């Protein structure tokens, strides 16, 4: 019992580290726990650990490792009646992975499956989270009608639960901002992304890696308003955070660099913009060919 409690404590510690944007530290702990097999103990606990490990690998863009971890989690959790919420969470995480790999139809099917499980459980928080992710997937498919409908569902479900954490609400606001920007509602877009940024800072501090996404979205909103100086500053901040989190040779960094180039071009710095756009486009194409991924700039999966 003491050994199992110790493993549980380690999984909680790994979750806290991952939540703080420290996936490498979380992986180190989870690898040790999973090698020990939690003393061949609780399959539910093992499944949760595998799911968390997958999400840590996904944050680092280690897609093969993430997929293997999610598959292990599904094998453990699917047969356990009392672990269906954890199973749904894993399926939703796998949907985010497939979205990152450009497999958007598969991502949509997995996201809908996860949401259906949460609906059957009467879990409004789970429905809100999965609906947010489905909105992001639909946005990446340029299916804006479906994206708006999924976001509205997320907002409605969020009103029926007190179990959403700041990260969940920030994800809803970030998604709301992206859709509002697309629809030309600039004031709504800026207020929504600033709420998201404030929530992420409040929950995790100024160095939290998801803030890079927030600053990049805000940069695009500001550029739309022709407020180029703060837009460029936000984009540069997003680049620095992406480099610190996953390095320059990553989808996150190169996507941010491409958006930065678009903002520079709009501001009048066309020569520098062309150089950066060419650099980012070439590097992204190389990543896609080597990793067999089909990511696009729209495939930002907000947590």
Q: Is 290 within the bounds of a domain?
A: no
Q: Is 233 within the bounds of a domain?
A: no
Domain span at residue 66 reads 1-79
Residue 38's domain is classified under what CATH number? 1.25.40.10
Q: Give the pLDDT score at 240.
A: 97
Give SS3 for 71.
helix
pLDDT > 70? residue 296:
no
Q: Which two tokens stand for residue 195?
A: 């709420």
Burial 159-190 (b: 16+ CB within 10 A, else e): eeeeebeebbbbbbbbbbbbbbbeeeeeebbb
How confident is the model over 215-239, as a mean pLDDT?
A: 98
Torsion of CA 295, 144, 211, 91, to 10 degrees: -60
Q: Give the pLDDT band (50/70/90) at residue 6.
A: confident
**Number of domains comprising the chain:** 1
Taking the C-alpha atoms of residue 111 and residue 153, their distance in angstroms, rounded to an integer, is 14
Taking the C-alpha atoms of residue 172 and residue 135, their distance in angstroms, rounded to an integer, is 9
Q: Which two tokens stand for residue 267?
A: 């501001």
Q: Which two tokens stand for residue 79?
A: 């047969």
How confident is the model over 253-272, as a mean pLDDT?
A: 96
Question: What percent of the chain has pLDDT above 90?
Answer: 86
Q: Which two tokens stand for residue 12?
A: 């909680």
Q: Is 294 within the bounds of a domain?
A: no
Q: Which of 53-62, 233-242, 252-261, 291-300 has the lowest mean pLDDT?
A: 291-300
How confident is the model over 281-292, as a mean pLDDT?
A: 80
pLDDT > 80? residue 101:
yes
Q: Which two tokens stand for residue 287?
A: 């990543």
Torsion of CA 103, 105, 109, 111, to 10 degrees: 60
Question: What percent of the chain has pLDDT above 70?
Answer: 92
Q: Give the pLDDT score at 293.
A: 42
Which helix (H) or strand (E) is 134 found in, with range?
Answer: helix 124-140
Q: Is 52 within the bounds of a domain?
A: yes
Q: Give the pLDDT band (50/70/90) at residue 298.
A: very low
What is the phi-psi region of residue 62: left when phi exceeds 0, alpha when psi lies from -120 to 50, beta otherwise? beta
Burial 106-140 (b: 16+ CB within 10 A, else e): bbbebbbebbebbeeeebbbbbbbbbbbbbbbbbb
How confident is the model over 243-248, as a mean pLDDT?
A: 94
> 68 CB contacts (<8 Å, ≥6 apart)?
54
Q: Name residue, tokens 């609780």.
A: 42
Taking the C-alpha atoms of residue 243 and residue 248, their distance in angstroms, rounded to an integer, is 5
Q: Is 44 within the bounds of a domain?
A: yes
pLDDT > 50? residue 2:
no
Q: Give the pLDDT band (50/70/90) at residue 72.
A: very high
pLDDT > 80? residue 299:
no
Task: Write out pLDDT tens, residues 133-176.
Answer: 999 999 999 999 999 999 999 999 999 999 999 999 999 999 99
Q: Is 286 within the bounds of a domain?
A: no
Q: Is 229 within the bounds of a domain?
A: no
Q: Which two tokens stand for residue 149?
A: 């409908």
Give the closest residue to 134 by CA, choosing from 168, 169, 107.
Answer: 107
Q: Give the pLDDT score at 289.
A: 73
pTM of the model: 0.91
Q: Give the pLDDT score at 36.
A: 84
How confident is the model over 110-114, as a mean pLDDT?
A: 98
Q: Which two tokens stand for residue 120?
A: 């059957």
> 71 CB contacts (<8 Å, ≥6 apart)?
none
Give the closest residue to 38 by CA, choosing from 3, 86, 80.
Answer: 3
Taking the C-alpha atoms of residue 52 and residue 89, their distance in angstroms, rounded to an integer, is 10
Task: Write out pLDDT tens, residues 31-50.
Answer: 999 988 755 558 999 999 99
């Amino acid at each position: 019992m003491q050994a199992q409690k110790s493993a549980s404590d380690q999984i909680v510690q790994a979750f806290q580290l991952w939540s703080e944007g420290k996936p490498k530290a979380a992986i180190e702990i989870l690898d040790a726990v999973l090698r020990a097999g939690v003393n061949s103990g609780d399959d539910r606990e093992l499944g949760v650990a595998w799911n968390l490990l997958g999400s840590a690998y996904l944050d680092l863009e280690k897609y093969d490792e993430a997929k293997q971890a999610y598959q292990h989690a599904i094998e453990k959790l699917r047969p356990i009646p009392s672990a269906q919420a954890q199973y749904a969470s894993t399926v939703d995480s796998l949907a985010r992975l497939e979205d990152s790999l450009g497999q958007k139809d598969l991502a949509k099917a997995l996201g809908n499956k996860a949401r259906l499980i949460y609906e059957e459980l009467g879990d409004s928080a789970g429905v809100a989270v999965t609906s947010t992710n489905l909105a992001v997937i639909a946005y990446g498919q340029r299916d804006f009608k479906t994206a708006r409908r999924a976001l509205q569902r997320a907002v409605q479900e969020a009103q029926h639960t007190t179990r959403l954490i700041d990260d969940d609400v920030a994800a809803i606001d970030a998604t709301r901002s992206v859709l509002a920007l697309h629809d030309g509602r600039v004031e709504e877009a800026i207020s929504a992304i600033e709420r998201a940024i404030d929530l992420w800072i409040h929950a995790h501090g100024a160095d939290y890696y998801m803030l890079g996404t927030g600053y990049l979205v805000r940069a695009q909103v500001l550029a739309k308003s022709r407020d180029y100086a703060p837009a460029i500053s936000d984009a540069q901040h997003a680049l620095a955070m992406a480099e610190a989190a996953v390095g320059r040779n990553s989808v996150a960094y190169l996507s941010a660099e491409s958006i930065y180039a678009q903002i520079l071009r709009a501001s009048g710095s066309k020569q520098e913009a062309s150089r950066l756009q060419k650099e980012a486009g070439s590097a992204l194409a190389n990543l896609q060919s080597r990793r067999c991924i089909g990511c696009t700039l729209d495939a930002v999966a907000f947590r």
